[in-house]
Structure 1
Amino acid sequence: MSTSLVTLDMVKEAQERLKGVAQRTAIMQSTSLSERCGCEVHLKMENFQRTGSFKLRGAYNKVASLTAEERARGIVASSAGNHAQGVALAAKEYGCKATICMPSNAPIAKIEATHSYGADIVLAGDFYADAYEKACALEKEKGFTFCHPFDDPVVIAGQGTIGLEILDELPDTDVIVVPIGGGGLISGIAVAAKAVKPDIRIIGVQTQNMPSMQQSVAAGKVTTVPALKSLADGIAVGTPGTLTFDIVSKYVDEVVTVSEAEIAESILFLLERVKTAVEGAGACPVAALMNNKINHIEGKKVVALVSGGNIDVNMIDRIINNGLVKSWRRAYFDIVVQDKPHVLSTITGLVSDSNANILSIYHDRSQRDIEVGYVHVALEIETMNEKHVQNLLTTLAEHGFPAVLR
């Protein structure tokens, strides 16, 4: 498929179409992230976009480009949640029916938000691929007009308006870091940004659980990877698009991956340091920067795209806990000690003297592998950093309480 299907003129046309619809989201510098990465890092805050995600841009551009007859047939789309909201909002404004197929385990917040725009929701399977198959079946069965979430030139052009906004505000940007699922977002940004500034570097970021675009580029052909759950549900796409693969192969300089723990850590960082709630996919570019996944950025001006903020509040506690563990600010100790008076108080005293804070403690004599006269003590402890944890382990061992870090 030709990469010329998406052009700078198409992106500029989308920009005109989106005036008064999509917000021109803020770009803010992160001092703490810049200091950590050794470069000047700016965040493009698409989590503040209408519907909470960049997806509105491409979805609205697509629906607006349809003929009256195509809209009258009704629109069907497949989505993990953010494209769903964009399509539903656009369909509502154009007065046409929208049916959205989503994975059954899609975040409740995304399902409810999509429904609030008046769309019919069809839950299908556990992964995006299942929802896509269902949408294709409904397209054939009902005669709906299909609105693809990423492998569509008009959708890609809509996403590309972000690239124009970045270079309009920060024309000396050296690197743009973008999350990749199916590839529509990075394709649009790459086409627009490289047309304006050919020497700019475009870096894609995927979750290690589903690195479909990275493996496709390495293989030189579209490749499907096994479906695994991820905190970054918005980019958990097993097979990238044909058009997006061609564009990424031509315009994107590198694709890197981040782990689930790194994603959790970056969500926590953005909550604490940037005071903003970001979903897993939106946090991936920050995770890549925080964990030194991108080379040759020292002293450069880097823009990381925070692509969405539709995080499932039911997951926040688990995500924060994972982030705290990854950053050594929460630790779990297991200790087997003699079951006699004052032992527990001695252990808690040592923890207190180290300026750590005990969040919970569990004292158990009944485990099968615990000998008579001994007890298992499990501690959940609030700590400051890795050095603090290691010093506490050393202190406990020196006092006869060797602990195992869980």
Structure 2
Amino acid sequence: MLSADDDDGFSFDVDDILKNIFSGDGMHDFFSDAYDGMHDFFSDTFVGERYYYVGSSERLPNGDELVHGRRGRVIGLASDPLLWSVRFPGNEADADVHFGLLSSRPPRPLPDGFLVGDTVYYAGASGDGLEFGLRGTVVGPARAAEGLTVLFDGNKGNVQLFFNKHPFSREPPHLLYYTGFALDEELYYNGTGTKFDNGDRLVYGWRGRVAGQAAGDFARTAVAMRFAHNQLPRVCYLRNLTRDPPPPLPGGFAPDDLVYYNGSSSSFDNGDVLMFGERGTVVGPATLASHKGKGLAVLFDGNKGTVQVFLNQLSREPLPSPPSGEYTWPIPGFSKIEETKLSSPTFQAGAFNWTLDLYPKGDDQQGQLSLYLSAADSATLPEGWARHASFTLTVKNHLEVVTRSVTKRAQRNGANNQTRVGGY
């Protein structure tokens, strides 16, 4: 129990006071007194003042309306202290309005010149309770980003439409006018296959139906398509849609076929690497002029982007492993070496000639050993050559029985006439 004394020796128990306030009649009296005090303050401060309604327009059960931007006079507190009774012109009864939806200043104009009561039409893909061409009425601004709050015909609740996300127009939309295709028309996808995070896909040759106009900058170059196997409508460029089935892929291949690469190793600016024997998935026809009719678009395992590959560079069966090799370079008296760089004898591995370059104190002379794998015959190779290899470099200290290794997969900056391959 807590107690307190004043200077005259009068004592009181804090626990008893709290129990009295928060029990039965005490609780009621406490909040009743607080409410009476709030009511007196409210009456002296707000009653009779005029405020603007800044929420979304709505029709009340008795037929009265709350209209965005309309001004009314505060009559008093409602039963809930957060609700104010407001008398708006044209209404039969006072409306209970949350005080957060009232402002002493007129609301800002709606974006893009829209007015409350304007008619708009939904021009996006059908779904989630909205159909392409559905008509609605503007009832206020969107609550977050630039947009509008709209009550669509036949709906009970309002919908937030954002200019950068949801296509809508002042006039009934005509999909055919923009794209040449009609709503619900059946079309075939003839573009490169794509996978989405939620599992949806676009597959060469799939048939779907036009679900509506694409949003924003895509409105005149794409449409939203609904495919049977997908959860959501997907935006497809007009150039990748046809009314007739697309031609079969060259070489008798089909989408999702597994293939193996049997050409020369390559690397790409995005960091992707294509190695002999790599497995990939056919995702569509080649689109490069040099490859059309003679190649495929393939997504290889571990890569980010697709690669255009000629048919004669692909196999349906796994390929034998590329040649490999192993070389050990013993270095006697290593601790007494004074040279800044040592090069091993030339050795052959994987049908190529190599050397090892060793910097006992590091190639930057910072005291850290550096070891690199280099092409031994680089001086005789043609300009622009590249050689890709997967390798392991290991340094073993026989005195301390310590081994350190580094493993490198073929990479974009592979061995060439300007760059050594990996190391440490």
Asked if these proteins are the same fold (TM beyond 0.5), I'd say: no
What interval of TM-score do these two structures reach, taking the shorter chain for normalisation? under 0.3
TM-score normalised per structure 2? 0.21
Higher percent of residues as strand: 2
TM-score normalised per structure 1? 0.22
Max Rg structure: 2
User: Which one scores higher on RCO, CA 8 angstroms, separation ≥ 6?
Assistant: 1
Higher percent of residues as helix: 1
